[in-house]
Chains A and B, each alone.
Chain A
């Protein structure tokens, strides 16, 4: 049964739509900006965040400085020279000479360890011979050897070890930043859901603005961190005299930042969407695990396959690994000019698709408390 009674008092006459407003509603991007500012401020106030960022920056600076020290001071070997041998040794790089009066004095220097070896004149074709303590001194031998000139038909632009370090660097920075800020987003999404504040937020601003604000805020933080690392590495290299490496690495770092910007937005949307499917912080880890794997796989691939052109080529186009794969290939000089552009387009399109899908999951999951929302429920709504 249903009973209907008109209200006792006649209600006020219709007010024009124009007279309703006291506070104009902020537009979409103003809402996004408000949300992202809150994300950034709450991150900057978190001690855990500040400490982990400090450690990451220290590692970046430390590795540059260490690299600089190793390349700026190539180990020199001291040799004792006697008489005319000095002229022969004097032209060789990597050797410092200590003059000795005679062969006996030179031998004494070798014996007490002051020098690695002694170079003394003799009657051989070379005009000198080498005296060492217990084994042939390879550094001295190499310095004094004469090698024929070599012409490489397809020179590799960078040495293998350097490539490994650079690949590891890109992989590590992407992995660390994406994981740090991705899980930050995940926690912030679940915090709002768990504390139920999300219902007030949803009544004030569109869900899309809420999601976009989180992604934008954390992307700014992540990109800011990347830019600071890139600047520190660049300045560090310039200061420690590694200008040649900087010239090679510069474009790769630049592309990395661009790829990271898109790649991170995609990963952030995925973290937010998967996290919105649970209601408790305890469940965040398990629900976001697939996204975590997506972030970790490129890191391991680049460590194990950085010298495999085929794997690197594939990686540089797959959206999830492109932010790591393409910069490494650019550094290697194995990418044509249009390749990063194409890979970036693929990444951008994928990111747009993921955002659409992610915001759908996010919207449909936010008010479902209690158990875990299944993907099917989240997509259907």
Chain B
């Protein structure tokens, strides 16, 4: 388990991170969400040891991370870039070698990854000759080529076409399933929502919420229900203990004072006609995000 404990960091007079603490469990896909400038990139750089914090520590299984441990991380920085005048495969081999992989294993990994990411035929092209999307795929290969045991990816999906997103998703899920802690940031909240086991929400350098996705949704859910009926749902306004939030023909969103009141609505609806759906309205990630960040 990767644990970030009470990290503080400032640039000049600007406090960028304040007591940032969260953890990334083994085999857990952890989404790191926050507005631009909230401190995601700085946190990730500190985890990777590219930046040093003013105070606080990064622990791996309870022991502070060493430079040797960090070589087993796969890192995709927010600022993308590879050597433009170096061949794709050669570059991947070089990066793997820097992480301590033997030349033969590095070559094997590089060609396997390029094949999987659909870049097999471009292996001997210079990076600068690739399209932006393909450069992005090469960047992902660069983060994975040394068989990392931990993944820290800053915006791994930005700039990818939907097919590439799926390929990368599959690869990330595989790594997580193999027990690697995966931390990634993204602005695509729907993607994070679909993908993540755990969530960390950061705003203005502070962790505002963190935990498993289901727990967060539970925690931020209101006593709100949604019903979809065949007949007009205007009658719900008259039920005792019910406040209608939104209403449109057969669809309504309402708040119930008690569970009994909500069940009363369902019973009554069934007597009036077909009920297509009825349920507790769980907040979407973007709703939680907006609420938490506010």
Binding site for B on A (CB under 8 A): 1-9, 11-12, 14-15, 17, 20-26, 31, 34-35, 38, 42, 191-192, 194-206, 367, 369
Contacts and interface: CB of A to CB of B under 8 A. Distances in A.
Given A2-B208, A200-B95, A9 B28 contact: yes
B100 A23 contact: yes
A195 B84 contact: yes
Contact of A31 (B27, B86, B98, B207): B98
Contacts of B208: 1-3
- Tell which of A11, A14, A24, A367 has the most Cβ of chain B within 10 Å: A11
A17 B69 CA distance: 10
A200 B77 contact: yes
Contacts of B212: 5, 7-9
B152 to A, nearest CB: 9
Interface stretch (B46-54, B114-122, B235-243): B46-54
Given A3-B208, A8-B211, 18 more contacts: A2-B207, A2-B209, A4-B210, A7-B198, A11-B25, A11-B26, A12-B27, A20-B149, A23-B71, A25-B100, A26-B97, A34-B94, A35-B98, A195-B84, A199-B77, A204-B99, A205-B71, A369-B79
Contact of A9 (B25, B45, B99, B143): B25
14 contacts: A3-B211, A4-B210, A7-B23, A8-B215, A9-B25, A22-B147, A23-B72, A23-B100, A26-B100, A35-B98, A191-B83, A196-B79, A203-B70, A367-B51
Contact of B83 (A22, A195, A202, A367): A195
Contact of A197 (B48, B82, B102, B179): B82
B214 interface: yes
B287 to A, nearest CB: 15
B211 A6 contact: yes
A200 B75 contact: yes
Interface string B50-80: 1100000000111100011111110101011
Contacts, number: 139
B53 to A, nearest CB: 13
Given A5-B210, A196-B80, A15 B61 contact: yes
A20 B180 CA distance: 11
B183 to A, nearest CB: 13
B127 to A, nearest CB: 9
B101 interface: yes
Nearest to B198: A7
B150 to A, nearest CB: 10
B40 interface: no
Contact of B69 (A1, A11, A20, A205): A20
Contacts of B49: 202-203
B232 interface: no
Given A5-B210, A7-B212, A203-B75, A197 B83 contact: yes
Nearest to A28: B67
Contacts of B195: none
Contacts of B23: 7, 11
Nearest to A202: B50
Contacts of B210: 3-5
Given A11-B26, A23-B100, A24-B100, A3 B209 contact: yes
Contacts of A6: 211
Contacts of A17: 61, 63
Interface of B: 1, 23, 25-28, 45, 48-51, 60-63, 67-73, 75, 77, 79-86, 94-95, 97-102, 105, 142-143, 146-147, 149, 179, 197-198, 206-212, 214-216, 219, 292
Contact of A204 (B25, B98, B219): B98
A123 B102 CA distance: 94
B73 to A, nearest CB: 7
A25 B26 CA distance: 21
Nearest to B147: A22
Contacts of A196: 77, 79-81
B73 A203 contact: yes
Contacts of A202: 48-50
A371 to B, nearest CB: 14
B264 to A, nearest CB: 32
Contacts of B147: 22-23
A363 to B, nearest CB: 10
A42 B83 CA distance: 11
B232 to A, nearest CB: 40
A218 B209 CA distance: 50
A85 B170 CA distance: 104
Given A5-B212, A31-B98, A199-B50, A25 B219 contact: no
Given A5-B212, A205-B98, A195 B68 contact: no
A30 B237 CA distance: 74
Contact of B81 (A9, A31, A38, A195): A195
Given A3-B208, A12-B1, A204-B98, A20 B72 contact: yes
B131 to A, nearest CB: 16
Contacts of B83: 191-192, 195, 197
B223 to A, nearest CB: 19
B144 to A, nearest CB: 12
Contacts of A5: 209-212, 215-216, 219
Contact of B292 (A3, A38, A194): A3
Nearest to A206: B67
Contact of A25 (B1, B68, B80, B209): B68
A8 B73 CA distance: 24
Contacts of B71: 23, 25, 204-205
Task: Give the interface centre of B51, B79, B179 by most chain A CB atoms within 10 Å.
Answer: B79
Given A38-B94, A203-B50, A22 B211 contact: no
